[in-house]
Amino acid sequence: MPLIKAESLKVGTLRELLRERDLSTKGTKAELVTRLIEGAGTDEFDIEDESNELKLLRDVVSSLAATVESLSKKIDSKSEKHNSDIPKKIVSDDHFNHSHSIRDIVELLPDFEPTKTSSLTAKAFIQRVRQLATAYNWNEAAVVFAVQTKLNGPAKLWFDSCGLIFENLKDFAEALESEFPHVENEADIHFRMSSYIRKPKEPVIDFFYRVYAEGRKGQTSDAAIIQYIRRGLNHGPLQNAIAPLNFQTTNELLDAVNRFLANRQRLPEASQRKPENDGHFEPIKKLTATPVKNANRVCYNCFKPGHISVNCPQPQRLERCAVFKDRTYN
């Protein structure tokens, strides 16, 4: 093949040759020619051979692209046919399982903070996680990953420092329950529940569920929960209304409380009434005597209305004290 001088090449070809040799492509044509000759060590180039090689490469790439496109169409066609043969139930279950991301799982899982009294125990926390995983058919690996993000306080410090990688939920549950055992006895639970009293501005329903949650966490009976709710209501009218009633379950007590509150809202002129004091006493107002009009006064000297005896114009029937201007003492 004939060789071509660098001066005869076009600017585009010069830049392509420079780019292939990792040389700068900036400057005028004369600068490009000089740079190419210095970099290649010659001023003659076989452009036709390189063009043929580039053309061959383009043909190969085009052929491969066409082959890939053809195979993709065949695979899609077979996949659609295969999916149409799968029962609808299986497709629905598979979609349901994969539709839950890690973020969805994290949002549904409870938090675990061992130092908070309102937090679940380690055993109850693991039990709740297992119930959710079974109900929603979650992948175990995803659950193990998500549950680690719900650890707070000492639990998070323990997990960060233990250096263990848990491959399944069983190993994680055993390690967590071993590190944070539940040592509280039934007496502690009853002592704490007996101290619960509804706050002045706390809604009755909120207090109900506060005591109810504590009782359920301690696995106490419905009778005990009902008794502690009755004692701590701090609402005289409600306590008097439910005093003669006997409740077998907490749901019966909740229903009675809701009916009482609903009836109070429907009382006539309820909006104009002063709200219940809820056990707090207002300061006693100072009583002042209503002034008596002169027309209603009666003189005890002349027994005529309109003035009092000290101002009576009639002669006094009895002598008065010169100091106190009162009747004389005998």
> Do 194 and 135 share a domain, yes or no?
no
pTM higher than the cut 0.75: no
Q: Tell me if residue 138 falls in helix, strand or coil.
A: coil
Tell me the mean pLDDT in the region 306-330: 71
Give the model's pLDDT for residue 78: 64
**Secondary structure E strands in 142-222:** none
Tell me the mean pLDDT in the region 70-94: 58
Query: At residue 229, what is the residue type?
Result: I
Q: Which of 7-16, 87-96, 202-211 has the lowest mean pLDDT?
A: 87-96
Q: Tell me if residue 219 falls in helix, strand or coil.
A: coil
276, part of any domain: no
Q: Is 279 left (phi over 0), alpha (psi -120 to 50) or beta?
A: left
Q: At 5, which helix (H) or strand (E)? A: strand 4-5
Q: Tell me if residue 83 falls in helix, strand or coil.
A: helix
289, part of any domain: no
The pLDDT of residue 312 is above 90: no
Confidence of residue 230 (pLDDT cuts 50, 70, 90): very high
208, part of any domain: yes
Give the model's pLDDT for residue 55: 64
58, part of any domain: no
Report CA 324 to chain centroid distance, whole Å: 78
66, part of any domain: no
What's the whole-number average pLDDT of the chain? 79
Q: Bigger pLDDT: 295 or 107?
A: 107
The pLDDT of residue 145 is above 80: yes
Q: At 12, which helix (H) or strand (E)? A: helix 11-20
> Do 262 and 208 share a domain, yes or no?
yes
Asked if residues 306 and 295 have their Cβ atoms less than 8 Å apart, the reply is yes
Confidence of residue 257 (pLDDT cuts 50, 70, 90): very high
Give the model's pLDDT for residue 233: 93
Give the model's pLDDT for residue 212: 92
Domain residues for the domain of 327 are 297-330
Q: Which of 11-20, 82-91, 152-161, 175-184 has the lowest mean pLDDT?
A: 82-91
Tell me the mean pLDDT in the region 23-38: 84
Give the model's pLDDT for residue 247: 94
Q: How far apart are CA 126 and CA 174, in angstroms?
A: 9
- Transcribe 165-180 into DSSP letters: --SSHHHHHHHHHHHS
Q: What are phi and psi of 294, to 5 degrees?
A: -60, -30
Asked if residues 183 and 121 have their Cβ atoms less than 8 Å apart, the reply is no
Give the model's pLDDT for residue 250: 93
What CA–CA distances, in Å, run from 40 to 13, 17, 139, 301?
Answer: 14, 9, 61, 144
Give the model's pLDDT for residue 48: 56
9, part of any domain: yes
Tell me the mean pLDDT in the region 90-110: 65
287, part of any domain: no
CATH of the domain at 36: 1.10.720
> Do 165 and 190 share a domain, yes or no?
no
Q: What is the count of structural domains for the chain?
A: 4
Q: Bigger pLDDT: 239 or 72?
A: 239
> Do 175 and 190 share a domain, yes or no?
no
The pLDDT of residue 140 is above 50: yes
* pLDDT > 90 fraction of the chain, expressed in percent and rounded: 26
69, part of any domain: no
The pLDDT of residue 327 is above 70: no
